[in-house]
Homo-oligomer: A and B are copies of this chain.
Amino acid sequence: MPSPRFTLDRSSPVPLYFQVAEQLEQAIVSGEIEAGERLENEIAMAQDLGLSRPTMRQAIQVLVDKGMLVRRRGVGTQVVRGQVHRPVELTSLFDDLSASGHQPHTKLLSIEQVGASEEIAEELQVSPDAPVWSVRRLRSIGEEPLALMHNYLPCDVVELGGVDLETQGLYAFLRDAGFVIRVARQRISARGVSGEESALLDEPEDSPLLTMQRTAYDNSGRAVEFGRHAYRPSLYSFDMTLVDR
């Protein structure tokens, strides 16, 4: 039975369950606990760490929700086999690529205030023709164009005047501006490249594009951003882990 030694800091602002979850995750990804292996039962683990059982359960639940552990009543908790892919998270493409060591950069194609179309108005929960920011950006990696992004944000919610969206990702800006994005709904599909896109993305006519449209909501449940993005499928895909709960 694997028994990694975890260290807890009860004076830390980081919750105990989170400290345990982090170290348990590390033990799994590092291979200290092997794929398929069964963990010690949660009551014993709690005792070992001087925690209550609910707190230990909460820590384990974090990793169950990430798809790294599976629990079976009467049996125990096991590590899921198979390579751990990176889950879909609420980060921008910019963050994604920075993390993977590439050098992404962004070109601002246009930024203007326009009246919301019927669809945009519905997605952003504003009146039709209400003023919204319309931002078009081209994201590239090295010399390769990667994605064409078209975002809309309600003018009465967000002030984009003077914001440098080439240096800073949109989500990073929103975070700095005090918007906590908690929920997003998105739809992924595909279509052929259109005329203007063909040149911008350096793709020949009739090339397939991967498309994603997303509406993001802040922690008061208000729609903050709607975007339509088109990715070159040779350079981008969406990875995710689904967990049945």
Q: CB within 8 Å of B: which residues of A? A: 35-36, 54, 65, 67, 69-70, 72, 75, 78-83, 85, 88-90, 122-123, 125, 181-192, 206-210, 215, 217, 219-223, 233, 236-245
Contacts and interface: CB of A to CB of B under 8 A. Distances in A.
Given A80-B217, A209-B208, A185 B241 contact: yes
A32 to B, nearest CB: 17
Among A65, A81, A241, the most chain B Cβ lie within 10 Å of the Cβ of A81
Among A35, A183, A215, A233, the most chain B Cβ lie within 10 Å of the Cβ of A183
Among A78, A188, A192, A207, the most chain B Cβ lie within 10 Å of the Cβ of A188
Among A70, A72, A75, A89, the most chain B Cβ lie within 10 Å of the Cβ of A70
Contacts of A88: 240, 242
B188 A237 contact: yes
A219 B192 CA distance: 39
Copies of this chain, count: 2
Given A90-B244, A192-B208, A221-B35, A187 B70 contact: no
B217 A190 contact: no
Among A67, A85, A181, A233, the most chain B Cβ lie within 10 Å of the Cβ of A233
B72 A219 contact: yes
Nearest to A86: B185
B239 A70 contact: no
Contacts of A192: 206-208
Given A70-B221, A192-B206, 7 more contacts: A36-B220, A72-B220, A80-B221, A81-B223, A183-B242, A185-B242, A208-B208
Given A81-B125, A221-B36, A223-B81, A242 B186 contact: yes
Contacts of A209: 190, 208
A204 to B, nearest CB: 10
A233 B223 CA distance: 27
